[in-house]
Amino acid sequence: MSSFFAQVLDILIVLLGDPFSAKTWQVIFQFIPFVLFFEVPVYLLVTLGILKYGLIRMSEKYTQDRNFPSVSCIITCYSEGEGVKRTIQTLAEQFYPGLIQIIAVIDGAAQNQKTYEAAKSMENVVSRIPKRSLLVLPKWKRGGRVSSLNAGLAVARGDIVMALDGDTSFDNNMVERATRHFEDPDVACVAGSLKVRNIRKSLVTRLQAIEYFFSIQASKTGLSAFNMVNNISGAFGVFRKDVLKAVMGWSTGSAEDLDLTLRVKNYFGRYKNMKIVFDPEAVGLTDVPETFRDFFRQRLRWDGDLSYIYFRKHWMSFNPRLVGWKNFIALLWTGLLFQIVMPFAITGYLTYLAVAFPVSFALGIMALVYLFYLSVTAFFFIIFVLVLSERPWQDMKLFPWIVFMPLFSMINRVHNAFSTLWEIFGKAHQDTSMAPWWVIKRREKTDET
Amino acid sequence: MTEKDIKFIRFALAENPCLNRYETVRDVHSIEELTQVMEDADAFIIDGSEPEELACQVSCTIRSNPSSCAKPLFTTSALPEKIALLCDGEISSMEEAVKKASQILNRLNEANQDALKESPDFRLMAYLYARPSMQIKPLLEPFTPHAYRYPLASCLSEDPAMGEEWLGFLKQKGLLEFGDLIDRIRLCPRCETSHLNYIDICPNCSSLDIVRKEFIHCFTCGRVGPVEDFLLEDHLRCPFCHTRLRHLGEDYDHPMESHSCNDCGHRFIDPDVVVDCFNCRTRSDTDELIIKNIYGFKITNKGKTAARVGTMEDVYSIFDSLNYMAPPYFSKLMNWLLDLHKRYPQDNFSVVGIYISNLPDIALKLGRKKTLRLANEIARRLRQLIRGTDVSTRTSINNLWLLLPKTDKAGANVLAERIKNLSSLIDIDYEGTLEFKIALFSTPDDLMDADDAERILARLSGELGNE
């Protein structure tokens, strides 16, 4: 017991007594390169982008004096059950003067009879609303998300096609916000802002809400200002139908959203003005895992999928001639460095810290790092909420939970490293629950040939 | 009739008939020509599909004529339902036509040919008898007052407008019964047309001018109001707490839906539904409408008997040779005897009711001629059993009644026994014997208070069990 107190005392001494001793600095300098070279440029870029967005947004007003293109919303449904009703209803009740065709594709409708019936029961409700239509498309045999999206695309009549998740509901101005970007003929796709619906459920949902806010709403807004959006989320993507037809729809395999983003970006080299825009005010709310166990399981899949896309499927996209120099660097940076290299670097650094130094010293360093991240996170959170948030009050309520964020991010990074290893050595994407194994298997075969 | 002997008449609608020439087929090209020769034909073919109007006329002409109405009639292509309902289906070759026609004609020959000429009732029975699995189907004619009619019944009946009533009458007589339930329609209680307009109106002032109003429930302050109070140019904002409502299910929801009347301002959940008749403009409540089931009709066993034997009327009328007296007089006489018995209680009389329950079945088996002979034989035997002073009558459901003056219970019983014994005396070409059912009434044993002729006969009818 006394040794524990001694350790704590040591930490305090390192932190408060002599924070700038040579030894501390030595270790901190070993850490700084990561922060300095990997993260800070991105933070700066994102902050600049957000400020740019904020300035433009301030001068913008709602106007009826624009085109309201017809929109097709493909909702990929599986076992959401009654939940799809909500998705359909929030789409049907959009404030949008144009036509909205809602296409609910039920994958494996034979097993998911409840989902199918729930979607069917909305036909009456939607038919009463002018300029809205609902088409329930049962795919009796399960074929995966990609086949649902492509089936939906085949019957989509709108000029704009949205790919949406069956468990995501939308703000009532989402379609209006998302479609206004297509006034600019160079805009190919719009990525929507996903936020957490079940925030108040548990600690892990709150932390995810903060994480979503940073990694989606804030960072994508920043990247979007420089046309460097890294991914159009599969749960919420908006496309020109012509663009989807040009890239021939979605392609089999997991992380089809990132795959599609990269394939669209492959046109950037040829069409210099082409844009992918992120709109922080086109908001969809989704339920996130409520326990740590479910959360890590979800991340295992996502992170694994990510490296699958980068390493196995899209090596060729890492080519400035295809995606343009700017996006090539962005891909390397946010894709490779952030998503793949950083997790390993941080895991390695932590291991080094634990092995090479006494526990009290290591913990001391960790505490410093924690404080550093905490202040950075808190600072940016306040700025971003003030500039970006469409619900500032609600988002500000998350502020106290920021104290957990540095730790949460670190654990995520370490877990990410393991997920990537699992993908590389375990070929985890074949276990994906997003499509039946025979679809994934086929993909493997075509990849080899 | 052998297949070779079937004489076909083909009505060729188009220049180029669909079927090849066939030796036993006679071609006609106009209605006039058809009416001249159709008496001799055994079967008909309408060849071609255009003009439809003419095809319709031809089929109606054939079905309306007493001599040809039950004969086979085929088409060579799918014609509209109003024609198809009068025909025996499509054929694609003469071989097929001959085969199908001979089936129908063979059955038709079993029907009583004399009765066919007698009345449309028997023609319809023969028609259905020749096509055992057939039902008389209704035809939907959307813009007519009654929506449904029976084309076959209209053609075969004497009054084409009364086709449906006629079917109802035949059903009452037990010759037809309901087939499939086809539809259920609602009719105006005043003019009985089916052209109705269902409208929702204000329950307060009955105005037509009502609108649906959706309500919003603000989660922040909990207040509820109609959508228009929340609606700004491009978003919803709560008029009470000024919260911007962005997300259905998170910020707000629709707690209910209601209607409001633009005339009287009344707010209500469910509007009243009333029905306006397009024809006579009568306004009714939905539960005042006449509900009518639309059925197909099929032939009953009794109908089949009627088709084979014709009417049983002439069979039963043979029994009228037994001191027949018309039913009203018979009743009068009975009442007189009742009065007499009351005055002079020793003056007894008896009434015997006789019903041969299996006579229709036997008739179906034996055919008409043998049945008549059998009836004569029964009448002869009965005449031997009764006295010159006994009188008889016959009521509509073919119960035979004997009134025996000066006969008491014992005497009546003796007679009843003898009648029952007749079944063993009369030899018929039938597995089984005549089944005599007998009911007895004798004074004073069976007399009840306030009895009169009508009540006594009704009581005995019940005992006889004749439906």
The verdict on a CB contact (< 8 Å) between B250 and A176 is: no
What is the extent of the structural domain holding B372?
A: 312-464
d(CA B261, CA B272): 12
Phi, psi of A448, deg, nearest 5: -70, -35
Nearest to A197 among B234, B235, B250 (CB): B250
Residue A122: pLDDT over 80? yes
B391: nearest Cα among B317, B466, B313, B326: B326
Domain ranges of chain A: 2-53+328-448, 66-297
Number of compact structural domains in chain B:
3
Count of alpha carbons within 13 Å of B462, Cβ hemisphere only?
6
Considering the domain architecture, whether residues B227 and B332 belong to the same structural domain is answered as: no
Considering the domain architecture, whether residues B164 and B227 belong to the same structural domain is answered as: no
Q: H or E segment at A363? A: helix A359-388
- What is the torsion angle, in degrees rounded to the nearest 10, for the CA atoms of residue A121, residue A122, residue A128 and residue A130? -150
The verdict on a CB contact (< 8 Å) between B246 and A390 is: yes
Whether residue A93 lies within 8 A of chain B, CB to CB, comes out as yes
Whether residue B218 lies within 8 A of chain A, CB to CB, comes out as no
Alpha-carbon distance A284 to nearest alpha carbon in chain B (angstroms): 9
Q: Where are the beta strands (DSSP E) in A275-402?
A: 275-286
- Mean pLDDT across A274-296: 91
The answer to whether residues B403 and B387 touch, using CB atoms and an 8 Å cutoff, is: no
Enter the tokens of residue B146: 């009654």
Label residue B246 left, alpha or beta by phi (over 0 means left) and psi (-120 to 50 means alpha): alpha
CB atoms within 10 A of CB A15: 16
Question: Which of A94, A173, A201 to mutate to test binding with chain B, by most B CBs within 10 Å of its CB?
Answer: A173
Residue B191 lies in a domain: no
How much is the pTM?
0.58
The verdict on a CB contact (< 8 Å) between A172 and B233 is: no
The last residue of a domain, from among B270, B300, B324: B270
d(CA B417, CA A76): 88
d(CA A158, CA A74): 11
Check whether the bond before B271 is cis (ω within 30° of 0).
no
Q: Is A79 helix (H, G, I), strand (E, B) or coil?
A: coil
d(CA B185, CA B139): 13
Residue B283 lies in a domain: no
The answer to whether residues A254 and A440 touch, using CB atoms and an 8 Å cutoff, is: yes
Residue A447: band (very low, low, confident or very high) from pLDDT cuts 50, 70, 90: very low
- Mean pLDDT across A63-68: 82
The answer to whether residues A179 and A157 touch, using CB atoms and an 8 Å cutoff, is: no
DSSP state of A13: I
A285 interaction partners in chain B (CB closer than 8 Å)? 247, 250
d(CA B460, CA B447): 12
Considering the domain architecture, whether residues B369 and B451 belong to the same structural domain is answered as: yes
A177 interaction partners in chain B (CB closer than 8 Å)? none
The verdict on a CB contact (< 8 Å) between A90 and B249 is: yes
CB proximity list for B158: less than 8 A, separation 6 or greater = B120
Check whether the bond before B255 is cis (ω within 30° of 0).
no
Whether residue B250 lies within 8 A of chain A, CB to CB, comes out as yes
Question: Which of A65, A84, A95, A177 to mutate to test binding with chain B, by most B CBs within 10 Å of its CB?
Answer: A95
The answer to whether residues A88 and A108 touch, using CB atoms and an 8 Å cutoff, is: no
Whether residue B234 lies within 8 A of chain A, CB to CB, comes out as yes
Between A431 and A216, the higher pLDDT residue: A216
d(CA A42, CA A39): 5
In terms of CATH architecture, what is A66-297?
A: Alpha-Beta Complex (3.90)
The last residue of a domain, from among B212, B242, B270: B270
d(CA A408, CA A385): 20
B249 interaction partners in chain A (CB closer than 8 Å)? 86, 89-90, 169
Alpha-carbon distance A392 to nearest alpha carbon in chain B (angstroms): 12
Q: H or E segment at B351? A: strand B349-356
Cβ-based burial of A434 (10 A; exposed 0-12, middle 13-18, buried ≥19): buried
Lowest average pLDDT, out of A172-186, A188-202, A424-438, B172-186, goes to A424-438
B235 interaction partners in chain A (CB closer than 8 Å)? 95, 172-173
Q: H or E segment at A78? A: none
Residue of B nearest to A394 (CA): B251
Confidence at residue A430, expressed as pLDDT on a 0 to 100 scale: 54
Confidence at residue A445, expressed as pLDDT on a 0 to 100 scale: 46
DSSP state of A97: S
Confidence at residue B43, expressed as pLDDT on a 0 to 100 scale: 87
DSSP letter for each residue of A86-132: HHHHHHHT---SS-EEEEEEEETTTT-HHHHHHHHHHHHHHHTSTTE
Residue of A nearest to B244 (CA): A391
d(CA B108, CA B127): 7
Alpha-carbon distance B247 to nearest alpha carbon in chain A (angstroms): 4
Residue of A nearest to B236 (CA): A172
Confidence at residue B24, expressed as pLDDT on a 0 to 100 scale: 67
Query: Over pLDDT 90: what percentage of chain A?
Result: 32
DSSP state of B324: B
Nearest to B248 among A89, A176, A390 (CB): A89
Check whether the bond before B444 is cis (ω within 30° of 0).
yes
The last residue of a domain, from among B131, B160, B176: B176
d(CA A286, CA A302): 16
Confidence at residue A30, expressed as pLDDT on a 0 to 100 scale: 63
- Mean pLDDT across A163-187: 92
Residue of A nearest to B248 (CA): A90
Q: H or E segment at B210? A: strand B210-218
Phi, psi of A251, deg, nearest 5: -120, 145
Whether residue A80 lies within 8 A of chain B, CB to CB, comes out as no
Residue B450 lies in a domain: yes
Considering the domain architecture, whether residues B128 and B219 belong to the same structural domain is answered as: no
Whether residue A197 lies within 8 A of chain B, CB to CB, comes out as yes
Residue of B nearest to A195 (CA): B247
Considering the domain architecture, whether residues B360 and B250 belong to the same structural domain is answered as: no
CB proximity list for B17: less than 8 A, separation 6 or greater = B10, B27, B47, B48, B76
3-state helix/strand/coil string of B139-200: EECCCCCCCEECHHHHHHCCCHHHHHHHHHHHHHCCCEEEEEEEEEEEECCCCCCCCEEEEE
DSSP letter for each residue of B235-282: SEE-TTT--EE-SBTTTEE---EEEEETTT--EESS-EEEEEETTT--
d(CA B382, CA B324): 13
Whether residue B245 lies within 8 A of chain A, CB to CB, comes out as yes
Considering the domain architecture, whether residues B147 and B17 belong to the same structural domain is answered as: yes
Size of interface A-B (CB pairs under 8 A): 36
The verdict on a CB contact (< 8 Å) between B247 and A390 is: no
Confidence at residue A1, expressed as pLDDT on a 0 to 100 scale: 45
Residue of B nearest to A281 (CA): B246
Nearest to B247 among A95, A169, A176 (CB): A169
Segment A249-272, tens digit of pLDDT: 888 766 778 888 888 888 887 888
The verdict on a CB contact (< 8 Å) between B248 and A86 is: yes
The verdict on a CB contact (< 8 Å) between B235 and A172 is: yes
Nearest to B249 among A86, A283, A390 (CB): A86
Alpha-carbon distance A283 to nearest alpha carbon in chain B (angstroms): 9
d(CA B88, CA B152): 12
A83 interaction partners in chain B (CB closer than 8 Å)? none
A86 interaction partners in chain B (CB closer than 8 Å)? 248-249
Segment B63-104, tens digit of pLDDT: 888 888 888 888 888 888 888 888 888 888 888 888 888 888
Between A130 and A23, the higher pLDDT residue: A130
Whether residue A271 lies within 8 A of chain B, CB to CB, comes out as no
Amino acid residing at A407: L
ipTM value: 0.76
Considering the domain architecture, whether residues B243 and B354 belong to the same structural domain is answered as: no
Whether residue B233 lies within 8 A of chain A, CB to CB, comes out as yes
Mean pLDDT by 10 residues, chain B (467 residues): 74 70 74 83 84 86 86 86 88 85 86 75 87 90 87 85 86 86 92 90 91 86 86 86 89 83 86 91 90 91 79 72 85 91 90 85 76 83 86 80 89 89 76 83 85 88 77
Considering the domain architecture, whether residues B135 and B254 belong to the same structural domain is answered as: no
Residue B163 lies in a domain: yes
Q: H or E segment at A410? A: helix A405-426
Alpha-carbon distance B251 to nearest alpha carbon in chain A (angstroms): 10
CB atoms within 10 A of CB B145: 14
Residue A448: pLDDT over 50? no
The verdict on a CB contact (< 8 Å) between B247 and A285 is: yes
A420: nearest Cα among A304, A333, A339: A304
Segment A322-333, tens digit of pLDDT: 777 777 887 777
Q: Is A132 helix (H, G, I), strand (E, B) or coil?
A: strand
Confidence at residue A88, expressed as pLDDT on a 0 to 100 scale: 93
Amino acid residing at B168: G
Alpha-carbon distance A33 to nearest alpha carbon in chain B (angstroms): 43
Let me know the angle formed at the C-alpha of A108 by A105 and A110, rounded to the nearest 5 degrees: 110
Residue of A nearest to B233 (CA): A62
- End-to-end distance of chain A based on CA atoms, in angstroms? 63
The verdict on a CB contact (< 8 Å) between A171 and B247 is: yes
**A229 alpha carbon, distance to own chain's centre:** 11
Residue B306 lies in a domain: no
Alpha-carbon distance B277 to nearest alpha carbon in chain A (angstroms): 27
Whether residue A90 lies within 8 A of chain B, CB to CB, comes out as yes
d(CA B124, CA B69): 8
The answer to whether residues B111 and B130 touch, using CB atoms and an 8 Å cutoff, is: yes
Q: H or E segment at A226? A: none
A127 interaction partners in chain B (CB closer than 8 Å)? none
Residue A134: pLDDT over 90? yes
Label residue B194 left, alpha or beta by phi (over 0 means left) and psi (-120 to 50 means alpha): alpha
d(CA A367, CA A409): 14
DSSP state of A218: I
d(CA B189, CA B291): 9
Residue A446: pLDDT over 70? no
Residue A306: pLDDT over 80? no
d(CA A381, CA A383): 6
- Mean pLDDT across A266-288: 88
d(CA B81, CA A437): 53
CB contacts under 8 A, A 143-182 vs B, are: 169-173, 176
Q: Is the dihedral of CA A300, A301, A307, A311 positive or negative?
A: positive
B266: nearest Cα among B200, B202, B199: B202
Nearest to B235 among A90, A95, A197 (CB): A95
Residue A312: pLDDT over 70? no
CB atoms within 10 A of CB B453: 20
